[in-house]
Structure 1
Amino acid sequence: MPNTHPSQISISDYTYTLPEEKIAQFPLENRDQSKLLLYKNGRITDGHFKDLPTALPANSLLVFNDTKVVQARLRFQKPTGGVIELFCLEPLEPMREVQQAMQQTYSVIWKCLVGNNKRWREGRLEMPLGPYPADGSLWAERLAPAEEGFAIHFTWSPGHKTFAEILELAGTLPLPPYMNRDAQESDQDRYQTVYASEAGAVAAPTAGLHFTPAVLEQISAKGHQKAFVTLHVGAGTFKPVKAELMEYHYMHGEQLSVSRAFLEQLLYHKSKPVIAVGTTSMRTLESLYWLGAGMSLGLLPVEGEDLFVPQWFPYDVRTTISVQEALEALLYHLDSHKLTHLHATTRILIAPGYQFKICTGLITNFHQPQSTLLLLVSALIGPSWQKVYKHALANNYRFLSYGDSSLLLP
Structure 2
Amino acid sequence: MCAFLALLRTVKTHKYCLHMKLSQFKFNLPESLLASEPSEQRDESRLMVLHKDTGKIEHKIFKDVLDYFDDKDVMILNDTKVFPARMYGNKEKTGATIEVFLLRELNRELRLWDVLVDPARKIRVGNKLYFGDDDLLVAEVVDNTTSRGRTIRFLFEGTDEEFRRNIEILGETPLPKYIKRKATPEDKFRYQTIYAKNEGAVAAPTAGLHFSRELMKRLELKGVDFAEITLHIGLGTFRTVEVEDLTKHKMDSEQFIITDEAANRVNRAIDDKRRICAVGTTSMRAIESSVSADRHLKPGTDWTSKFIYPPYEFSIANSMITNFHTPESTLLVMIAAFGGYENVMNAYEVAVKEKYRFYSYGDAMLII
TM-score clears 0.5: yes
Q: Which residue in the other structure is 1:188 paired with?
A: 188
Q: 1:174 and 1:380 mapped to 2: Cα distance?
A: 29
Residue 138 (str. 1) matches residue 137 (str. 2):
yes
Shift of the alpha carbon at 1:402? 0.4
Q: 1:199 and 1:241 mapped to 2: Cα distance?
A: 27
Q: Which residue in the other structure is 1:379 paired with?
A: 337
* Cα root mean square deviation, aligned: 2.0
- Listed one character per residue, the Cα deviations across residues 107-153 of structure 1 (whole Å, up to 9, x for unaligned) are 4212111112222354321224xx5x5xx731211122225612111
Residue 401 (str. 1) matches residue 360 (str. 2):
yes
Moved over 6 A (4+): 3-6
Residue 21 (str. 1) matches residue 35 (str. 2):
no
Q: Which residue in the other structure is 1:287 paired with?
A: 289
Q: Which residue in the other structure is 2:237 paired with?
A: 237
Q: 1:225 and 1:401 mapped to 2: Cα distance?
A: 25
Structure 1 range deviating more: 50-59 or 391-400: 50-59
Q: 2:163 and 2:267 mapped to 1: Cα distance?
A: 36
Counterpart of 1:258, as a letter, is I
Shift of the alpha carbon at 1:392? 0.9
Q: Which residue in the other structure is 1:300 paired with?
A: none
Q: Which residue in the other structure is 1:198 paired with?
A: 198
Look up the SS of the partner of 2:38 in the other structure: coil
Residue 113 (str. 1) matches residue 124 (str. 2):
no
Look up the SS of the partner of 2:89 in the other structure: strand
Q: Which residue in the other structure is 1:273 paired with?
A: 275
Residue 126 (str. 1) matches residue 130 (str. 2):
yes
Q: 2:163 and 2:349 mapped to 1: Cα distance?
A: 44
Matching residue within 83, 86, 94 for 1:80 = 94
How many residue pairs match? The answer is 348
How is 1:160-239 mapped onto 2 (pairs within 5 angstroms)? 160-161=160-161, 163-239=163-239
Q: Which residue in the other structure is 2:57 paired with?
A: 44
Shift of the alpha carbon at 1:5? 8.8
Taking every aligned residue pair, what percent have the same amino acid on both sides? 36
Is the contact made by 1:253 and 1:346 (CA closer than 8 Å) also made in structure 2?
A: yes
Counterpart of 1:253, as a letter, is S
Q: Which runs of 5+ in 1 are unaligned?
A: 95-103, 293-320, 332-341
Is the contact made by 1:274 and 1:358 (CA closer than 8 Å) also made in structure 2?
A: yes
Q: 2:187 and 2:318 mapped to 1: Cα distance?
A: 32
Counterpart of 2:224, as a letter, is H
Q: 1:77 to 1:261 in 2, by over 3 A?
A: same
Q: Which residue in the other structure is 2:260 paired with?
A: 260
Q: 2:284 and 2:162 mapped to 1: Cα distance?
A: 31
Look up the SS of the partner of 2:60 in the other structure: strand
Is the contact made by 1:75 and 1:85 (CA closer than 8 Å) also made in structure 2?
A: yes
Q: 1:164 and 1:197 mapped to 2: Cα distance?
A: 16
Shift of the alpha carbon at 1:357? 0.4
Shift of the alpha carbon at 1:248? 3.0
Structure 1 range deviating more: 178-187 or 275-284: 178-187
Q: 1:163 and 1:269 mapped to 2: Cα distance?
A: 42
Look up the SS of the partner of 1:323 in the other structure: coil
- Listed one character per residue, the Cα deviations across residues 362-385 of structure 1 (whole Å, up to 9, x for unaligned) are 101100100110111110111211
Is the contact made by 2:237 and 2:251 (CA closer than 8 Å) also made in structure 1?
A: no
Matching residue within 56, 61, 77 for 1:64 = 77
Structure 1 range deviating more: 148-157 or 179-188: 148-157
Q: 1:123 and 1:366 mapped to 2: Cα distance?
A: 41
Q: 1:260 and 1:125 mapped to 2: Cα distance?
A: 43
TM-score normalised by the chain length of structure 1: 0.80
Q: 1:69 and 1:356 mapped to 2: Cα distance?
A: 28
Q: 2:301 and 2:166 mapped to 1: Cα distance?
A: 25
Shift of the alpha carbon at 1:80? 2.6
TM-score normalised by the chain length of structure 2: 0.89
Counterpart of 1:272, as a letter, is R
Q: Which residue in the other structure is 2:295 paired with?
A: 323
Q: 1:154 and 1:77 mapped to 2: Cα distance?
A: 14
